Chains A and B, each alone.
Chain A
Amino acid sequence: MTRPLDDRAFATAIDANRDALFRYFLRRMEDREDAAEAFGELLLTAWNVRRRMPADEAEARMWLFGVARNILRTERRRLARRSDAVRYLVEQVRAAAGHDDDAVHRDVREAIAELPDDDGELIRLIYWDGLTSSEAGAVLRLNASTVRNRLARVKADLRLKMSSRDEPVSTRHP
Chain B
Amino acid sequence: MNDHELETALRVAAPPANLPAGLAGHQDRILREAAAGRRRRRGGRVAAAAVLGVALVGVGGSAVAGLGGHETPWGWIAEQVIVNECYQAITVSYDPPLTEDSAIVRDARAYLSSIDIASLDHSAKEAEYLEREHAGEVARSEALREQDAIFATVFLQLEAHLTALGYAEELVEHNVGIFSSSDCSR
Residues of A near any B CB (own CB < 8 A): 1, 4, 6, 11, 14-15, 18-19, 22-23, 26-27, 32, 36, 38, 40-41, 43-45, 47-49, 51-52, 63, 66-67, 70-71, 73-78, 104-105, 108-109, 112, 123-124, 127-128, 141, 155, 158-159, 162-163, 166
Contacts and interface: CB of A to CB of B under 8 A. Distances in A.
Contacts of A6: 96
B10 A127 contact: yes
Contacts of A73: 183, 185
Contacts of B74: 66-67, 70
Interface in B69-105: 73-76, 91, 93-94, 96, 100
Contact of B75 (A41, A63, A108): A63
B184 A74 contact: yes
Contact of B27 (A27, A43, A141): A43
A23 B17 contact: yes
B13 interface: yes
Given A18-B23, A74-B184, A49 B7 contact: no
The DSSP consensus for interface residues of chain A is: helix
A100 to B, nearest CB: 10
In the A-B complex, the 4 residue pairs with the closest CB atoms: A108-B13, A23-B17, A26-B17, A127-B10
Interface residues of B, number: 44
A155 B3 contact: yes
Interface in B94-119: 94, 96, 100
A42 to B, nearest CB: 9
Contact of A48 (B26, B49, B185): B49
Contacts of B15: 26-27, 105, 109, 128
B13 A70 contact: no
Given A44-B51, A78-B55, A51 B11 contact: no
A74 B185 contact: yes
Contacts of B181: 45, 49
Contacts of B138: none
A104 B10 CA distance: 11
A159 B1 CA distance: 7
Given A14-B27, A71-B53, 16 more contacts: A6-B96, A26-B19, A36-B20, A44-B30, A48-B34, A48-B51, A49-B52, A51-B100, A70-B52, A71-B52, A74-B53, A108-B13, A123-B10, A158-B6, A162-B6, A162-B9
23 contacts: A14-B31, A18-B27, A22-B19, A26-B18, A32-B20, A40-B30, A45-B53, A49-B93, A49-B179, A52-B91, A71-B52, A74-B53, A75-B53, A78-B55, A108-B13, A109-B13, A124-B14, A127-B7, A127-B10, A158-B10, A159-B6, A162-B6, A162-B9
A43 B30 CA distance: 7
A47 B34 contact: yes
A95 B93 CA distance: 45
A45 B30 contact: no
